[in-house]
């Protein structure tokens, strides 16, 4: 292959105004990072609703209709439409129609807005960088706060419990790795510092689902490591695991050991996870098509215990897959799984495509695209694993990770193929670099937005 025949990547033409990037970044800090709850003085301002209104207006002004239509044509977009449609259609047949309608119109709209904004904002790689920096800084500060937190399970704000806090830490770890491998200067140090602080934060929450999500990342990271460096990398992971184990407090260690104790409450009591999952499967079998209605799982639990003769507990599903299948029926659950698995698939396609281009000509933009897609895929995958123990079926965090994966796919489509700038010579005289080069060199690859854009003829 001659040098002129090697494909190179053109710079994507999409650029949102800087004000739009700032607005969306602040919105994600509120919707995901709960920054307005961490700072008590901001709570009376109702920044959640205000941020959603302002961001929706900015999205209507700057997001292109063609990009929105392309988003809906993806597998995750179709799955989201199917699941949301069934959530609306099954309201009359739910166990408490008013509660389902209220949840869909007053709560779930925020997750839908997060999905659309993440997908379309991530198309502009500069805006994506702003969002990632904002979230990683937020989670780094939260992890630092967890170190000084009093004894007990750490929580962020008022609306995140300990398990949701752990899921937020897990979701942000891949983006901390992304900053470490692509940035220079202080953003790189933010990425480096965020990784151990996120792990410490997960430990401080005492969430077993969060630890499962962290553990699920390890095989994925090993798969992405350079083949010739896989042995040392595995040793580094083992060393990090041992250090994490030594850093765990007595409370976290006790909770982890109890997870495998069949005498623990999750195995023996009526409101333990095993019994709740069994009842959830029963709700699915009883109403396989229409379910019990969005946000109806807890009310169904109350109805099933109404004849106990004493106070009963409104129990959550503690598993997002059982939660969605029981509430939306199997058809709505099909749309939900289309959304999740479709997000993994399209991000994986972008990663594989960019890996082939990078192996051909070592284009740094191809490496950055490969890394973005890999981290989006890893973030979604880890939250999917965390959701096996948590009720995250309609969480904004889950919708953000799916939207981020869609943004990689939509943004990657805007790259053109052609000679563009003169690519480097064909690497015929040397063996192509395999794997993620950033893990065997201390030199980061500059992120988009750090330097001036290349002028590429159309």
pLDDT of residue 423: 39
Region 158-169 average pLDDT: 86
Region 216-227 average pLDDT: 74
46-93: per-residue pLDDT in tens?
Answer: 666 777 788 888 888 888 889 999 999 999 999 999 999 999 998 998
Q: Which of the two residues, 285 and 158, has the higher pLDDT score?
A: 285
- Per-residue pLDDT band for 44 (boundaries 50, 70, 90) equals low
Q: Kindly tell me if the per-residue pLDDT of 105 is higher than 80.
A: yes
Q: Which of the two residues, 79 and 432, has the higher pLDDT score?
A: 79
pLDDT of residue 396: 92
Region 162-173 average pLDDT: 90
Q: Kindly tell me if the per-residue pLDDT of 5 is higher than 60.
A: no
Q: Kindly tell me if the per-residue pLDDT of 262 is higher than 70.
A: no
pLDDT of residue 429: 42
Secondary structure of the chain in the HEC alphabet? Answer: CCHHHCCEECCCCCCCCHHHHHHHHHHHHHHCCCHHHHCHHHHHHCHHHHHHHHHHHHHHHHCCHHHHHHHHHCHHHHHHHHHHHHHHHCCCCCCCHHHHHHHHHHCHHHHHHHHHHHHHHCCCHHHHHHHHHHHHHHHHHHHHHHHCCCCCCCCCCCCCCHHHHHHHHHHHHHHHHHHHHHCCCHHHHHHHHHHHHHHHHHHHHCCHHHHHHHHHHHHHHHHHCCHHHHHHHHHHHHHHHHHHHHHCCHHHHHHHHHCCCCCCHHHHCCCCHHHHHHHHHHHHHHCCCCCCCCCCHHHHHHHHCCCCCCCCCCCCCCCHHHHHHHHHHHHHHHHHHHHHHHHHHHHHHHHHHHHHHHHHHCCHHHHHHHHHHHHHHHHHHHHHHHCCCCCCCCCHHHHHHHHHHHHHHHHHHCCCEECCCCCCCCCCCCCCCCCCHHHCCCCCCCCCCCCCCCCCCC
Q: Kindly tell me if the per-residue pLDDT of 384 is higher than 50.
A: yes
User: Domain segments of the chain: what residues?
Assistant: 19-253+277-305+315-418+432-439
Q: What is the pTM of this model?
A: 0.83
Q: Kindly tell me if the per-residue pLDDT of 103 is higher than 80.
A: yes
pLDDT of residue 416: 54
Q: Kindly tell me if the per-residue pLDDT of 173 is higher than 50.
A: yes
Region 284-291 average pLDDT: 91
Q: Which of the two residues, 159 and 32, has the higher pLDDT score?
A: 32
Q: Which of the two residues, 245 and 6, has the higher pLDDT score?
A: 245
Region 212-238 average pLDDT: 71
Average of per-residue pLDDT values in the chain: 79
Q: Which of the two residues, 117 and 310, has the higher pLDDT score?
A: 117
Q: Kindly tell me if the per-residue pLDDT of 265 is higher than 70.
A: no
């Amino acid at each position: 292959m001659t040098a002129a025949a090697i494909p190179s990547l053109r710079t994507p033409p999409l650029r949102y105004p800087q004000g739009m990037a700032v607005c969306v970044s602040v919105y994600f800090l509120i919707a995901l990072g709960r920054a307005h709850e961490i700072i008590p003085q901001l709570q009376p301002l109702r920044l959640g609703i205000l941020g959603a209104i302002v961001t929706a207006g900015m999205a209507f002004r700057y997001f292109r209709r063609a990009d929105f239509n392309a988003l809906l044509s993806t597998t995750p977009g179709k799955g989201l439409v199917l699941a949301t449609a069934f959530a609306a259609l099954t309201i009359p047949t739910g166990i408490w129609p008013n509660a389902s309608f209220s949840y869909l119109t007053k709560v779930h709209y925020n997750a839908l807005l997060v999905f659309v904004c993440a997908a379309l904002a991530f198309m502009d790689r500069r805006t994506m960088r702003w969002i990632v920096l904002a979230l990683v800084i937020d989670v780094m500060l939260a992890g630092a706060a967890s170190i000084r937190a009093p004894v007990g399970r750490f929580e962020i704000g008022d609306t995140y419990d300990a398990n949701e806090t752990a899921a937020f830490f897990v979701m942000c770890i891949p983006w901390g790795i992304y900053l470490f491998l692509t940035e220079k200067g202080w953003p790189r140090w933010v990425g480096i510092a965020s990784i151990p602080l996120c792990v410490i934060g997960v430990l401080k929450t005492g969430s077993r689902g969060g630890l499962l999500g962290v553990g699920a990342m390890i095989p994925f990271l090993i798969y992405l490591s350079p083949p010739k460096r896989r042995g040392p990398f595995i040793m580094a992971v083992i060393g990090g695991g041992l250090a994490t184990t030594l850093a765990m407090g007595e409370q976290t260690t006790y909770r982890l050991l109890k997870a495998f104790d069949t005498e623990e409450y999750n195995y023996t009591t009526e409101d333990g996870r095993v019994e709740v999952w069994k009842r959830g499967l029963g709700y699915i079998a009883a109403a396989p098509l229409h379910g019990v209605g969005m946000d109806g799982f807890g009310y169904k639990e109350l109805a099933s215990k109404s004849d106990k003769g004493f106070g009963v507990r409104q129990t959550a599903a503690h598993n997002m897959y059982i939660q969605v299948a029981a509430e939306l029926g199997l058809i709505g659950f099909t749309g939900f799984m289309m959304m999740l698995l479709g997000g993994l698939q399209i991000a994986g396609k972008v990663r594989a495509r960019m890996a082939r281009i990078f192996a051909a000509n070592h284009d740094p933009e191809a490496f950055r695209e490969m890394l973005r897609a890999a981290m989006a895929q890893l973030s979604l995958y880890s939250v999917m694993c965390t959701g096996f123990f948590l009720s995250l079926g309609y969480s904004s965090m889950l919708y953000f990770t799916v939207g981020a994966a869609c943004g990689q796919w939509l943004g990657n489509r805007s790259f053109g193929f052609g000679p563009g700038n003169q690519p480097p010579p064909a690497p015929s005289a040397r063996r192509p670099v395999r794997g993620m080069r950033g893990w065997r060199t201390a030199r980061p690859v500059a992120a988009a937005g750090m330097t001036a854009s290349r002028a590429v003829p159309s």
